């Protein structure tokens, strides 16, 4: 396979049955559904595209309990290495927390090769949720671009990924134009964060933390001031998702 064919195969959408959803935020009988896949699904994709001898992973346990994953894949005649860090879960068992950190590190490193990256382009959905059973009462839906045969990239015709045509009345407008660099982006996000906090729509720093966490999941890191290129419009989308969460009825 040509390198571009390998990258295309790695970044192709997963079968919908492999994609799961977890509640990121719960408000009474509604929850913000976030899509994800298990580490096993990532490993299967690497095996299918590269073969079992076409990729290698190495891990390092960090002092704070997080785990660094160094993922090497063979593309053509070269080995390409990318690295990222995974965080432990909040499970009560220490072993489970560590296993979650290893899985998270692998998934984050694989995203840098395009594996599952399209999942971060899916807009957050508020779905009916049973807080007692801790499960969705109505399964979240995947947009067309996030299903086999789709490009893995959102389009202007995708109804799920589009922001509401009318901006919320209780929130200030989204960033009016794209910042020129990460430093300007950080300054504008900080100012907007202060405005939202001043209106008691969120706590101070909540917007900045949301954008930084989403950026880390997408492989851009948590230092917003260092972002550039595609990370800038990604941040704008993250702001819109944050706004949508603020304006859902309790």
Domain coordinates of the chain in residue numbers?
A: 163-250
Report which of residues 216 and 9 the model is more confident about.
9
Is residue 187 pLDDT above 90, yes or no?
no
CA distances from 7 to 83, 130, 194 (A): 17, 39, 40
DSSP state of 114: T
No. of H helices and E strands in the chain?
A: 6, 7
Segment of 22-31, 71-80, 132-141, 229-238 carrying the highest mean pLDDT: 71-80
- The region of weakest confidence among 44-58, 132-146, 204-218 is 204-218
| φ, ψ for residue 56, nearest 5 deg | -140, 145
What is the rounded average pLDDT of the residues 225-235? 83
Q: Work out the pLDDT band at 169, boundaries 50, 70, 90.
A: very low
Q: Which pLDDT score, from 0 to 100, does residue 161 have?
A: 37
Comparison of pLDDT for 147 and 245, the residue scoring more: 147
Q: What is the pLDDT of residue 105?
A: 95
User: Which pairs with CB-CB distance under 8 Å and at least 24 residues apart come from 209-218?
Assistant: 210/238, 210/241, 210/242, 211/235, 211/238, 211/239, 211/242, 214/120, 214/238, 214/241, 216/108, 217/108, 217/111, 217/120, 218/111, 218/117, 218/120
Rounded CA-CA distance 83/70 in Å is 4
Rounded distance, CA 67 to CA 52, Å?
Answer: 23
The pTM for the full model equals 0.59
Interval 111-148: pLDDT, tens: 999 999 999 898 878 899 998 888 899 888 888 888 88
């Amino acid at each position: 396979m040509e390198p571009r064919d390998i990258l295309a195969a790695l970044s192709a959408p997963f079968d919908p049955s492999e994609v799961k959803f977890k509640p990121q935020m719960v408000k009474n009988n509604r929850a913000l559904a976030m899509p994800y896949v298990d580490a096993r699904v990532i490993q299967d994709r690497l095996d299918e595209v590269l073969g079992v001898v076409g990729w290698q992973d190495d891990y390092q346990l960090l002092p704070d309990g997080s785990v660094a994953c160094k993922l090497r894949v063979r593309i053509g005649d070269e080995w390409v290495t990318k690295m990222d860090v995974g965080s432990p879960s909040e499970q009560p068992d220490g072993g489970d927390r560590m296993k979650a950190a290893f899985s998270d590190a692998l998934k984050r490193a694989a995203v840098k090769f395009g594996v599952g990256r399209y999942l971060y382009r899916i807009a957050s959905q508020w779905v009916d949720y049973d807080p007692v059973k801790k499960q969705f009462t109505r399964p979240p839906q995947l947009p067309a671009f996030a299903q086999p045969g789709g490009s893995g990239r959102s389009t202007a015709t995708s109804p799920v990924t589009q922001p509401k045509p009318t901006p919320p009345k209780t929130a200030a407008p989204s960033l009016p134009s794209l910042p020129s660099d990460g430093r300007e982006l950080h300054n504008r996000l900080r100012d907007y964060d202060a405005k939202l906090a001043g209106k008691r729509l969120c706590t101070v720093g909540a917007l900045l933390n949301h954008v930084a966490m989403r950026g880390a999941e997408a492989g851009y890191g948590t230092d917003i001031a260092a972002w550039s290129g595609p990370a800038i419009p990604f941040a704008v989308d993250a702001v819109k998702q944050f706004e949508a969460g603020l304006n859902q009825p309790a």
